[in-house]
Amino acid sequence: MQKHWKALTAVGVVIVAVAVAVILISRPTPSAEQEPSSLQASGKFGFPVSTIKIGEGGTKTAGDGKTITGYSGTCDSAAQAAANFAPLLSEVNLKTWADQKKTLTEVSVPGPWFEKVTSGGDLMTTTKNLPSGAFDGGWVSRSDVAAGGLYRVASCEEKKRAVVQVFIGSLNAQVKTVPAGGFGTVPMELTWDGDWKITDARQSADDPNFGGRVQDRGPAGATPGEPTGDFPVLTQDLVNSVFADVRRDGWIEYANAKR
């Protein structure tokens, strides 16, 4: 059994690396300016607050009946698409992984990045005789985008291409205790093909700047203390912690971020 626990720990490292890219290197690159009309006053933690919301922005849904598609092609809609696509890139459920991958193919363009992003989930769902440590019906890694509730548009050209980072909350399975909460940043490149489609979402320790397309890896970190089994709640201390070695400029709150 100890051997199995060690195997799960190794696999869990793969999942977390794919999901949130918790790494420490940064190299500044220019960032895009957010559309001024979409911003309101600063929020609780000093970030500008957008009028756009997580869970909105499109007119259709993918085959899973919940992932929003059908965007207008604006840069604001790219930020909404990124929020709505982030769970497909950061979650793993042992029972529904095949369906999740199918949905991801609907909202993306195939490429080598796809295999990298889905390798952790593939490994978890094909490993034999492994105690899953899963919670709430098969979850190994689950996200709450609103718990992070921030985005940064690194670059965008309407109806052409956008690079967006999304800061999310997460729960990750543990073998001997309840799932542990944390935060991470999910980067993605979106290209216009009659709708916003993911064309890259590599999350790896050897590429913290996403091929030079973002300023740095973005905020990330575990919540302190013993795991509670609940999604983390962002506080000023946690903001200071996850932004300790990355830049805050360019980050914007979604209008319905949990605060």
Q: In whole angstroms, what is the distance from residue 220 CA to residue 183 CA?
A: 5
pLDDT in tens, 140-188: 999 999 999 999 999 999 999 999 999 999 999 998 899 999 999 999 9
DSSP string, 130-153: -----BTTTEEEEEEHHHH-EEEE
pLDDT at 221 > cutoff 50: yes
Contact 131, 4 (CB under 8 A): yes
pTM of the predicted structure, to 2 decimals: 0.85
User: What is the Cα–Cα distance from 58 to 45, expressed in whole angstroms?
Assistant: 28
Residue 19 has pLDDT above 90, yes or no: no
Residue pair 175/133 in contact by the 8 Å Cβ criterion = yes
Q: Mean pLDDT throughout 112-134? A: 86
Percent of the residues in the chain that have a pLDDT greater than 90, as a whole number: 77
Q: How many CB atoms lie within 10 A of CB 174?
A: 16
Structure tokens at 2: 């100890």
Query: Looking at the predicted structure, is the pLDDT value of residue 199 above 70?
Result: yes
Type of residue numbered 210: F
Q: What is the pLDDT of residue 101?
A: 98
Q: Is the pLDDT of residue 1 over 60?
A: no
| Strands 252-253 and 180-192, sheet pairing | unpaired
The pair phi, psi for residue 104, each rounded to 5°, is -60, -35
Counting beta carbons within 10 angstroms of the beta carbon of residue 204, is it exposed (0 to 12), middle (13 to 18) or buried (19 or more)?
Answer: middle
Q: How many whole angstroms separate alpha carbon 242 and alpha carbon 259?
A: 16
Query: Coil, strand, or helix at residue 112?
Result: helix
Q: Express each pLDDT in 43-61 by its tens digit.
A: 999 999 999 999 999 999 9
62-110 pLDDT, tens digit per residue, is 999 999 999 999 999 999 999 999 999 999 999 999 999 999 999 999 9
> What is the DSSP code string of 50-98?
ES--TT-S-SEE-TTSSSEE----SHHHHHHHHHHHHHHHH-EETTTHH
